[in-house]
Amino acid sequence: CSPLHALAAAVLIESFLLGCGSVNADDLPLLQLLHEQSIILGRPVAAPLRALLGPLASRSGRSARLAKDLLADGVGGPTQSYREARRLAIATWPSP
């Protein structure tokens, strides 16, 4: 997908999980997609979501491993894809 699509998907997944108020093992498909987008963008997950991922990361299983990875992602900093996505988002945002 394009960088803009990757950013949109990441933001939507983060917003959905935050709206749910918790993250659990049943959220594995969303966590997998969020992790993929995080790698593409080099963008860490939002701070409020990091707080929700903490309890899941302390468990075992695939969802817990993804939660740990999401908590560690973004250390390398934003990628060129992330910078491109931000540029596109700003350029295409409707003006008032």
Tell me: the pLDDT tens digits for 87-96?
988 888 877 6
43 torsion bin: left (phi>0), alpha (psi -120 to 50), beta (else): beta
pLDDT tens digits, 46-84: 899 999 999 999 999 999 999 999 998 766 688 899 899
Quick one: pLDDT at residue 2? 87
